[in-house]
Amino acid sequence: MKRLQGVEHPNRFIIILVLLSVLAAAIAVRIVYLHIFSHEFLAMQGDARAMRHIPIPAHRGVITDRNGEPLAVSTPVLTLWANPKELLTVKSRWSELAAALKVQPAVLAKRIETNATREFMYLERGLTPENGQSVLDLKVTGVYAKEEFRRFYPAGEVTAHLVGFTDIDEQGQEGIELAFNDWLTGVPGKRQVIKDRKGDLIRDVQVKENAKPGKQLALSIDLRLQYLAHRELRKALLEFEAKAGSLVMIDVRSGEILAMVNHPTYNPNNRRHLNPQAMRNRAMVDVFEPGSTVKPFSIAAALGTGRWTPESTVDTGNGQLRIGRYTIRDVSRGGLLDLTGVLKKSSNVAISKIALDIGAQPVYNVMQSVGFGADTGLSFPGERVGQLPMHRKWGQAETATLAYGYGLSVTAVQLAHAYAVLGNHGRNMPLSLIRQDRKADDGAQVIDADISNSVMGMLRAVVEEAGGGGARAQVPGYHVAGKSGTAKKLATGGGYTKSSYRSLFAGVGPVDNPRVAAVVVIDEPSKGGYYGGLVAAPVFGRVMAGALRMLNVRPDNLPTETPSVVVGTAQGGRG
C-alpha cells in the first residue's frame, strides 16, 4: 500500500475510514431489515407519533313515564376548549374569538393569560352544534372541540322533584337521576384517528370500541296525572296563600306511585337562580304529625281486638277528656257516637277513649303494619322514614295522642301508602317509583279484609253523608272514601305554634273497586281558612275526578233514572 501523501498518521486515517464504512453498512442493513423484515415495527412507531384514540361519548339513558313519555333525554352538544400556549401566539385574533363566544375581550384575555402555562382550558361547554361550529369556522389556532351530551327535561318543573337533574358532566345529582345513576350512565367508545403535529385531524381510521348508551328507565308515574296534580296543587296554594304543598297518588293495586308533586318547585333546565329550598321533594323529605288522618287506623285496631264493632258507641260527653294535666277537646260536641260517627265528627275524645280501652299496642301494631315509621323501600335520595314512637310502658297521654295523630311523624308518601293498604282490602303492596307488573294479591295481608272494607265504608260516609267534614272531596259519578286532618305545626323552640297549621286530606277512590289512593298536604294556609276539609279536600276531589277519568275507571255512583210512565186514555172500537 502506498503511503498516503500529507497524512501524518496514515494508519489512523485508514481505521477511521473502515469504521465509517462499517457504520454506514450497518445502517444500510438496518434500514433494509426494518423495511423488509420488520415493517410492523416502523408502522407502530409511526402510529405512535400520528395515531390517536379519541373518546366517543355515550348518551345517558332516557327516563320516561309509564306510557313512554320522555322525562329526561340527552341531546348532543359541542364543548369548546383551547390550548393557551397556542392561543398566546395569535393574540391578534383574541377579540374575534371573544365576539364569537359572546364574552368581553378583557375577560377572555385574562383567562388565557392566567392559564398560560397550561395546555388545556375550557372556552364554553354545552353549546348547540350550530353555535359551536360557528366558532370553529373562525379557525383560530389553539381552539378545539369535543362532542358531549347535555341533559334536557321536557316536563320541566312538573317532574323536577322526582326526576332530579345531572351536573354538566351528566352525573346524577338529585332525584331519580342520582338514585339510578349507574343504570343510566353509558360507557364511552373509542375512535382511532390520524392527526398531524398540530393536532389537526388527517384521517378517521376506524371505530375501535362502540359507545354503549345508558339503559332506559320507565318510571311508574303517569305524566297526565302529574300535570293534573301540579296544576291543582298550585291553584290551591295561590287561593289560600299557603307556604308550600305536596300531593301523592298511588295505584292501590300495584303500589306504583302515579304522581308526586310539590310546590314551590324549580326548572331543572335553568338553575342559575335556583333557591335551594325549592329543590326539596317535600313529599318524601318533610315529616309532619298526620293528625286526624290516622284515626281510621285506630278504628281498624279497635275492630281487630274484637272488643269493638262498627255499631259500638262511645259517649263524648261535653266534648272534653281530662288526662292528668292535659285536656283533650273536640271542635264540636258529638254526644253518643258509633264508630262511623267518630270518624265523621273527627272526635279526639271518642278516639282517645277507644284507644285507652284497647291499649296502645294494637294501635301501634296497625300503624306499623301500614308503613308508618319504616323505610318505604324506594331508595330515594334524602328520603326520611318519620317516627312511630314505641314506649316500654305506654302512658294514657301517649296512648291517646297516638290514636288521633300526634306524637308520631310521617311523610306524605307514607300516609298515601297507608290509605292504599286500606283500599287494597288490607293488603300491603310494596311501593315503587319504577313501572311494575304486579297483581293486587302480591302483597302481605296486614289488616283483615273485612275490617279494612268496614273502615272504607265509614270513610265513604265521612265524604258523602251530612256532617262528615269531607263533603268538598266528593267526586261526581264515583263513591270515594277519605278523611281530613288539621295539625298544628311544631314550633322551633318546642311545643306548637299558635296559628300555623298543615291542612290534610287522604282518601281512596272509587270505593266499590278501589284504584287510586291520594294525599294532599297544604302547609300554612293563611287566607280563607285552614281546616283540612276546607283547604285540602277540594284539591283531592278535583284530582281524583280527573285521575279516575284518565284511567278509564268505571263510575260506581251514576244517578239511577226512574223510567217514566205515560198515563193515557185507551180508546176502543166497537166489536
Show the cell assigned to 366.
296497625
Q: Is the dihedral of CA 470, 162, 515, 421 positive or negative?
A: negative
Q: Is the dihedral of CA 344, 287, 548, 435 positive or negative?
A: negative
CA 165 – CA 422 distance, rounded (Å): 34
Active site includes 134?
no
Report yes or no: 310 and 340 within 8 Å, Cβ to Cβ.
yes
CA 530 – CA 503 distance, rounded (Å): 6
* Beta carbons within 8 Å of 314's beta carbon, 6+ residues apart: 336, 337, 342, 350, 353, 354
- The DSSP symbol for 428 reads E
3-state helix/strand/coil string of 241-299: CCCEEEEEEEECCCCEEEEEEEECCCCCCCCCCCCHHHHCCHHHHCCECCHHHHHHHHH
Report yes or no: 342 and 354 within 8 Å, Cβ to Cβ.
yes
Q: CA end-to-end span of the chain, whole Å?
A: 168
Q: Contacts for 44-51 with beta carbons within 8 Å, 24 or more apart? A: 50/194, 50/195, 50/196, 50/202, 51/192, 51/193, 51/194, 51/205
Q: Which of 74, 254, 292, 484 is catalytic?
A: 292
Concatenate the DSSP letters of all residues of 19-73 into one string. Answer: HHHHHHHHHHHHHHIIIII-HHHHHHHHHHHHEEEEEE--PPPPEE-TTS-EEEE
Show the cell assigned to 409.
311523624
DSSP-based three-state secondary structure for 373: coil
Q: At what angle do helices 295-305 and 449-464 cross, to 10 degrees?
A: 140
Question: In terms of C-beta density within 10 A (0-12 exposed, 13-18 middle, 19 or more buried), how is residue 354 classed?
Answer: buried
For residue 510, count other CB atoms closer than 10 A to its CB.
23
Residues with a catalytic annotation lie at 292
